[in-house]
Amino acid sequence: MLLLGFGNQSQGQSFVKRYLRYVLQDTTSSAEPKFIAYPTLAYAPETSFEFGVSSVLVYRAKRDTANRLSEVSSFSFITLENQFGGFIDHAIYTHRDRFFFLGLIKYQNFPLSYFDIGPNTAPNVTATIAASEFRFRERVLVKLLPSLYTGPEVDFELMRNVRFDVEDLNSFVYPMGRDGFLDLSLGWGLLYDNRHNVLNVRDGLFAEIAWLTSQQQWGSTFSFNSLFSDLRVYRPVGKHNVFAFQLYGQFTEGTVPFNQLALMGGERLMRGYYLGRYRDKNLIASQCEFRVLPLPFAKRWGVSAFASAGQVSPDLNGFQLNRIRIAGGLGPRFLLFPKKDIYTRFDVAFTPEGYGLYFFIGEAF
């Protein structure tokens, strides 16, 4: 059981002052757990104003600094259009790293912008998808050797009350799953991970390969197979700088519903593109990032610059150089938890089609 508090503070101080001191001054030791929660505000035409609460918990099993840093983050929101949702994302290591739990739980009643399927879709939204989505993905991994894990994986997704608000009915082709779907994918993964701090890796290697299958005979709406590969390399450059690289691939075959296709974009990979701006059965994408943490003249401020490239394709023979999409950007970092070496990031990412803004605790990868 984790007991979290604000320490001994004067009774005369306001809650806000005490909380800001707790967050910004971080006097807890590296062995102690740390938790923060903060409000968020966003605006988009399809949602109006969005009000949310984000939180993150970081800790080490049995408060032993020899154990890796585990993190559990969450986000919940509601909009003025009565849309709502939330997720819990986690990477949890048990004592001596014997087990590793990696996954997420998500529910949302929220509109999705849909740009059609394929590597050459136009930048205009062809439809807005209103739906209720519940998703659960979990990897339960056991240590075979130091830093080497294997174990089962499950991916469950339920899309209900799906409605396509189409811009042009004459040319629109509805995708698989237009009436909603249930997907239960089961599989196995092999993972190598020697990172000590998943939110800010300064030196390490992460490599994962996983295969999952979804079959109608066990209740899924469609039958298809998926292969995932993820390679991340982190190397120190000097005393404070880090060079990070990621190569990611997703490959599917069979009858794949629209939200189980490989989606390009989002806050982690191919930043600057809307998640799902490009979608298809196959995806290959990579990114590199140079992080200065902290800056030479500021103890708690840093900066990162990043670039990425990738493309989607209907089949393995469809990847072509002229279909590569690029993105890049930079952003400041603030050392939120000095004893645990965890930064907040504010990224500004640019693409040939526009830009994206991202504010999160922890690095993108």
pTM equals 0.89
**CATH numbers and ranges of domains, the chain:** 33-361 (2.40.160.50)
Q: In 3D, which of 166, 56, 50 has the Cα closest to residue 110? A: 50
Q: Is pLDDT larger for residue 17 or for residue 343?
A: 343
Question: What pLDDT digit, counting tens, does each position of 265-278 carry?
Answer: 999 999 999 999 99
Residues listed for the chain: 365
pLDDT at 12: 46
Q: In 3D, which of 287, 282, 307 has the Cα closest to residue 246? A: 287
pLDDT at 327: 97
The region of weakest confidence among 44-48, 183-187, 300-304 is: 44-48
Q: Mean pLDDT, to the nearest integer, of 357-365?
A: 93
Q: Are 157 and 240 in contact (CB under 8 A)?
A: no
Percent of the chain with pLDDT over 90: 81
Q: Mean pLDDT, to the nearest integer, of 327-342?
A: 94
167 in helix, strand or coil? coil
- Statement: residue 3 has pLDDT above 70: no
* CA angle in degrees (0–180, nearest 5) for 27-30-33: 85
Give residue for tokens 């952003």. 331
Question: What pLDDT digit, counting tens, does each position of 123-140 carry?
Answer: 999 999 999 999 999 999
- Statement: residue 286 has pLDDT above 80: yes
Question: What pLDDT digit, counting tens, does each position of 239-268 carry?
Answer: 899 999 999 999 999 999 999 999 999 999
In the structure, what pLDDT confidence band is assigned to residue 10 with cuts at 50, 70 and 90?
low
Average pLDDT, the chain: 92
pLDDT at 22: 65
Q: Mean pLDDT, to the nearest integer, of 320-343?
A: 94
Distance between CA atoms of residues 118 and 314, nearest Å? 7
Q: Which pair of tokens denotes residue 102?
A: 């990696």
Separation of CA 126 from chain center:
25
Q: Mean pLDDT, to the nearest integer, of 157-172?
A: 92
Distance between CA atoms of residues 362 and 272, nearest Å? 18
When mean pLDDT is compared over 4-8, 46-50, 91-95, the highest value belongs to: 91-95
Separation of CA 13 from chain center:
37
Distance between CA atoms of residues 236 and 204, nearest Å? 9
DSSP 63: G
